[in-house]
Amino acid sequence: GQSLEQPSEVTAVEGAIVQINCTYQTSGFYGLSWYQQHDGGAPTFLSYNGLDGLEETGRFSSFLSRSDSYGYLLLQELQMKDSASYFCGSDKLIFGTGTRLQVFP
Amino acid sequence: ETGVTQTPRHLVMGMTNKKSLKCEQHLGHNAMYWYKQSAKKPLELMFVYSLEERVENNSVPSRFSPECPNSSHLFLHLHTLQPEDSALYLCASSQDRTGFANEQFFGPGTRLTVL
């Protein structure tokens, strides 16, 4: 089976950088995706890492190390609108419990 | 808007009721999914349909019955639910089901409350 673990909550201030970690216990793992979900909203796709290393998309980057069973989402130049829940998921469609990010002025 | 719509957005039902959730995608995708999202728990995959054929059923109780009449529509029929079934039910679609590399587009969900 698979399980993915994330911190439950992270706080930061506007303009800062924050890293949300995702560690996993799994077999047959190929890649890691990240989704953002605002309160009352639908999850929206952010990124997918099918290979080890860093993927950059604007202010957001995602990293995967399959040898360490670990990945993270890096958010730079934080804005108030980044306050949301972020969750990682495997390509077996198993998800982490989500990390609630609160950005303060 | 993600191109995936769900109705109703909110539903309150008794344990003896029968109701249905509807999902429609306007993206021309071939795969559709039902998820359950409960507070403090990971998003749980319930069913996967690919080209209108059910390809995955994650040990979901039989009181949940999916239906996919065509590649654009997905239903979740509910009957004799339990209070612990109260949750946000999310529908999603993707181009195909060859793994997570295919970005999933989620609908806004149906907030279900079972009394």
| Segment A30-85, tens digit of pLDDT | 789 999 999 988 999 999 998 999 999 899 999 999 989 999 999 999 999 999 99
Q: What is the dihedral of CA A29, B44, B98, B51, to 10 degrees?
A: 160
Q: What's the pLDDT tens digit per position in B26-50?
A: 999 999 999 999 988 889 999 999 8
Q: Give the closest of A43, A91, A96 to B101, CB-based.
A: A91
> Chain A interface, mutation test: which of B37, B46, B100, B106, most A Cβ atoms within 10 Å?
B100
Structure tokens at A92: 């077996």
List the strands of the sheet with A84-90, edge to edge: A9-13, A99-104, A84-90, A32-37, A44-49
Pairing of strands A9-13, A99-104: parallel
Confidence band of B101 (pLDDT split at 50, 70, 90): low
d(CA B33, CA A84): 23
Contact predicate B108/B6, CB 8 Å = yes
Contact predicate B77/B18, CB 8 Å = yes
pLDDT of residue B99: 56
Q: What is the dihedral of CA B33, A30, A5, B111, to 10 degrees?
A: -10
Determine whether the interchain pair B101/A41 forms a contact, defined as Cβ–Cβ distance below 8 Å.
no
Q: What's the pLDDT tens digit per position in B52-93?
A: 788 777 789 999 999 999 999 999 999 999 999 999 999 999
3-state secondary structure of A8: coil
Q: Which residues of A touch B39 (CB under 8 A)?
A: none
